[in-house]
């Protein structure tokens, strides 16, 4: 039955290989179970409810990807977008987390419409590659500065804005050690490097009295504090257009890039380099975003960590179904999640940042009309504490530099339209 439904033989795999791939993928991304609640609770959300929403959104989205699209790609609330949700939209702009959830839901609905309608290719192809790479790198830098702040490595300073924290503090030293451990374990190809480091730091913190133990297993917490709490009316305010666009833009292009990258690694692309059943995969992703917002978590998206399972041999949706089941079992880990301290999750933020910044290497550094907008985009995100501002500055810079350099024909009409809209937004809103 499994062979027929998932086409295992046709894809050159077996049930055993798919099961192993599913476990491997889950271990590489299980850190989100602890990191996502730790970030969203800063926005004022109930950490227990967020853990349940995180696991359910990941389980539902991944199950849809496996059963509907038949791909071994796993989904969960995305890193970077959860930080933007908390530190950019809620803390930075002063909006409520309910309104932010409304923006996530609306972005998911628009993403779903784009996935169904024939405008998908036009939207994806209209944005220059240099800006796509810069946005990914900028989110990485944004995560990096949050990681440094959360770990205590940097602190506020009235003259220089930030300065070095107390590097002799036990928690700072543990955070540094945790990041080093993640890098070393990853270099040694140890599955689950991040989750191993997070749990190790947590146990050390408990042993030395740096964090209070809350237990390991229990029945799942109530989802009521976040379920159906999104404020759609507030999110439809004119000033929220840029925020909705930021959630949509990052999710759309990050998902498209992740899916193509994973499919290439698994040899799933066709002769023209296209991903079969792309529409189904994008629909699974956009549906997961909507479901996640309803449950109470930031944007749910496809995870590049799925590559670990693909490298193990996962080739079909059975791998994703295994990941989905494991996320459901993780619902019973809420006491452990409450025990995990900030100095244990901050290294994971910094490690993900390192992986995302590498996109800058693919930019054409010989063309200043590509370089200048890309650097402006990447730097603006951490320094303005906003992904949306980084996207806006990047689009405006790209359009102006190309136009003034006599290379207007290289820019798609969509970029010019968006650049003008961003300028109007900054001027009037």
Q: Tokens 């003259």 — which residue?
A: 159
| 318-333 average pLDDT score | 96
The dihedrals phi and psi of 188, each to the nearest 5 degrees, come to -85, 5
Contacts of 175 (CB under 8 A, 6+ apart): 151, 152, 153, 201, 343, 344, 346, 347
For residue 300, the cross-strand partners are 77
429 pLDDT more than 70? no
Q: What's the pLDDT at 23?
A: 93
Sign of the torsion formed by the C-alpha atoms of 260, 264, 270 and 273: positive
> Mind listing the pLDDT tens digit for each residue in 231-241?
999 998 867 78
CA 344 to chain CA mean position, Å: 19
Least confident of 269-283, 337-351, 398-412: 269-283
Alpha-carbon distance of 326 to 176, in angstroms, equals 30
Residue 226 to residues 184, 352, 370: CA-CA distances in angstroms?
37, 26, 42
> Is the pLDDT assigned to residue 318 strictly greater than 90?
yes
Name the phi and psi angles at 129, rounded to 5: -60, -35
Beta carbons within 10 angstroms of residue 259's beta carbon? 24
Find the largest Cα–Cα distance for the chain. Answer: 67
Residue 300 is predicted with a pLDDT of 96
Question: Is pLDDT at 46 greater than 80 in this prediction?
Answer: yes
Share of the chain above pLDDT 70, in %: 98
Q: pTM for the full model?
A: 0.86
In terms of Cβ atoms closer than 10 Å to its own Cβ (0-12, 13-18, 19+), residue 157 is exposed
pLDDT tier for residue 256 given thresholds of 50, 70 and 90:
confident
pLDDT score for 38? 95
In the numeric block, which tokens belong to residue 108?
Answer: 């998911």
Instruction: Please determine, for residue 157, whether its predicted confidence score (pLDDT) is greater than 70.
Output: yes
In percent, how much of the chain has pLDDT > 90? Answer: 62
Secondary structure (H, E, C), the chain = CHHHHHCCCCCCCCHHHHHHHHHHHHHHHCCHHHHHHHHHHHHCCCHHHHHHHHHHHHHHHHHHHHHHHCCCCCEEECCCHHHHHHHHHHCCCCCCHHHHHHHHHHHHHHHHHHHHCCCHHHHHHHCCHHHHHHHHHHHHHHHHHHHHHHHCCEEEECCCEEEECCCCCHHHHHHHHHHHHHHHHHHCCCCCHHHHHHHHHHHHHHHCCCCCCCCCCCCCCCCCCCCCCCCHHHHCCHHHHHHHHHHHHHHHHHHHHHHHHHHHHCCCCCCCCCCCCHHHHHHHHHHHHHHHHHHCCCCEEECCCHHHHHHHCCCCHHHHHHHHHHHHHHHHHHHHHHHCCHHHHHHHHHHHHHHHHHHHHHCCCCCHHHHHHHHHHHHHHHHHCCHHHHHHHHHHHHHHHHHHCCCHHHCCHHHHHHHHHHHHHHHHC
Q: Tell me: the pLDDT tens digits for 19-30?
A: 999 999 999 899
Q: pLDDT class for 426, splitting at 50, 70, 90?
A: confident
pLDDT of 418: 85
- pLDDT of 304 reads 85
Q: pLDDT for 202-212, tens place per residue?
A: 999 999 999 99
pLDDT score, position 124: 67
CA-based nearest residue to 392, from 249, 286, 252 = 249
The CA distance from 195 to 344, in Å, is 10
Confidence band of 121 (pLDDT split at 50, 70, 90)? low
User: Could you tell me the pLDDT band of residue 58, with boundaries at 50, 70 and 90?
Assistant: very high
* Per-residue pLDDT, 378: 93
Mean pLDDT of the chain: 90
Closest CA to 145 of 85, 81, 87, 77: 87
| 51-60, 248-257, 402-411, range with the lowest pLDDT | 248-257
- Which structure tokens are listed for 288? 């997961």
Token pair recorded at residue 7: 């086409």
Hey, how many other C-beta atoms are within 10 angstroms of the C-beta on 83? 27
The pLDDT of residue 80: 87
pLDDT tens figures, 66-86: 999 999 999 999 988 999 999
Q: Give CA–CA dist 126/343, Å, rounded.
A: 41
**Could you report the per-residue pLDDT of 257-309, keeping only the tens digit for each?**
788 878 887 888 777 767 888 889 999 999 999 999 999 999 999 998 898 88
The mean per-residue pLDDT over the stretch 212-217 comes to 89
The pLDDT-based confidence of 230 (bands split at 50, 70, 90) is very high
Q: Are 139 and 175 in contact (CB under 8 A)?
A: no
């Amino acid at each position: 039955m499994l062979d027929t439904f998932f086409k295992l033989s046709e894809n050159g795999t077996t049930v055993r290989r798919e099961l192993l791939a599913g476990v491997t993928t889950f271990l590489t991304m299980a850190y989100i179970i602890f990191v996502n609640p730790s970030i969203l609770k800063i926005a004022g959300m109930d950490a227990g409810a967020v853990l349940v929403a995180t696991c359910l959104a990941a389980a539902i989205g991944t199950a849809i990807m496996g059963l509907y699209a038949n791909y071994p790609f796993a989904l969960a609330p995305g890193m970077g977008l959860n930080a933007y949700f908390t530190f950019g939209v809620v803390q930075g702009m002063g909006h409520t987390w309910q309104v932010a959830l409304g923006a996530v839901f609306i972005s998911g609905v628009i993403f779903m419409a784009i996935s169904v309608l024939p405008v998908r290719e036009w939207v994806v192809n209209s944005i220059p590659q240099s800006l796509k790479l810069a946005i990914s790198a900028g989110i990485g830098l944004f995560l990096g500065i949050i990681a440094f702040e959360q770990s205590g490595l940097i602190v506020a300073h009235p003259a220089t804005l930030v300065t070095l924290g107390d590097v002799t503090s036990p928690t700072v030293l543990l955070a540094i050690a945790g990041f080093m451990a993640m890098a070393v374990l990853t270099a040694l190809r140890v599955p689950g490097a991040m989750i191993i480091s997070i749990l190790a730091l947590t146990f050390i913190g408990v042993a030395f009295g740096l964090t209070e133990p809350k237990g390991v297993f229990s029945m799942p917490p109530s989802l009521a504090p976040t379920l159906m709490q999104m404020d759609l009316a507030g999110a439809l305010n004119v000033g929220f257009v840029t925020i909705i666009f930021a959630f949509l833009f990052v999710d759309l292009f990050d998902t498209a890039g992740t899916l193509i990258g994973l499919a290439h690694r698994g040899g799933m692309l066709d002769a023209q380099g296209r991903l079969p059943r792309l529409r189904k995969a994008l629909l699974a992703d956009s549906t997961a975003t909507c479901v996640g917002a309803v449950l109470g978590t930031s944007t749910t998206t496809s995870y590049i960590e799925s590559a670990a399972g693909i490298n193990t041999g996962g080739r079909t949706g059975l791998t994703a179904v295994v990941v989905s089941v494991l996320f459901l079992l993780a619902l019973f880990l809420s006491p452990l999640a409450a025990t995990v301290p900030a100095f244990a999750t901050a290294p994971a933020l910094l490690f993900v940042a390192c992986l995302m910044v590498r996109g800058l290497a693919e930019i054409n550094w010989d063309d200043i009309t590509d370089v200048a907008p890309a650097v402006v985009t990447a730097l603006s995100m951490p320094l303005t504490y906003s992904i949306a501002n980084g996207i806006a500055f990047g689009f405006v810079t790209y359009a102006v530099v190309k136009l003034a350099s006599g290379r207007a024909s290289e820019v798609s009409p969509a970029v010019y339209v968006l650049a003008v809209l961003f300028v109007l937004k900054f001027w009037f809103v």
